[in-house]
Amino acid sequence: MKYNVLYTNHARKELKKLPQDIQIRMKESLNIISDDPYKHAKKLKCDRKVPLFSHRVGKYRIIFHVAHEKICILVIEIGDRKSVYDEF
């Protein structure tokens, strides 16, 4: 079962700021994740009620939530590994 990938407005803006080759790698990685989101992700330890996951793409990270009932992956944050975890 393939999950749909949805982006928050913030994540979409952050993705557009990245170099073109990194944008392509991010989209390819999200396509791979959409087959089985837990296989390539690490669960974040945070105080939020919904579980968040992280996926590594080179020195960048994708922070997302998996919504089983809607069969979708919601991309919350995309950015450099040094700063992407600051608000989580």
Block means of pLDDT (10 residues each) for the chain, 88 residues, are 93 95 94 90 84 93 92 94 84
- Which pLDDT score, from 0 to 100, does residue 42 have? 92
Can you count the helices (H) and strands (E) in the chain?
2, 5
Q: Is residue 15 part of a domain?
A: yes
Q: Is residue 47 part of a domain?
A: yes
Domain housing 11: 4-80
Give the global pTM. Answer: 0.88
Q: What is the CATH number of the domain that holds 28?
A: 3.30.2310.20
Q: Is residue 11 part of a domain?
A: yes
Q: Is residue 22 part of a domain?
A: yes
- Which pLDDT score, from 0 to 100, does residue 22 have? 94
- Which pLDDT score, from 0 to 100, does residue 1 have? 80
Q: Is residue 52 part of a domain?
A: yes
- Which pLDDT score, from 0 to 100, does residue 69 have? 85
One-letter amino acid for residue 57 of the chain:
V
- Which pLDDT score, from 0 to 100, does residue 52 have? 93
How many domains are contained in the chain? 1
Q: Is residue 76 part of a domain?
A: yes
Q: Is residue 85 part of a domain?
A: no
Q: Are strands 4-7 and 72-80 parallel, antiparallel or unpaired?
A: parallel
- Which pLDDT score, from 0 to 100, does residue 87 have? 77
3-state secondary structure of 56: strand
Q: Is residue 16 part of a domain?
A: yes
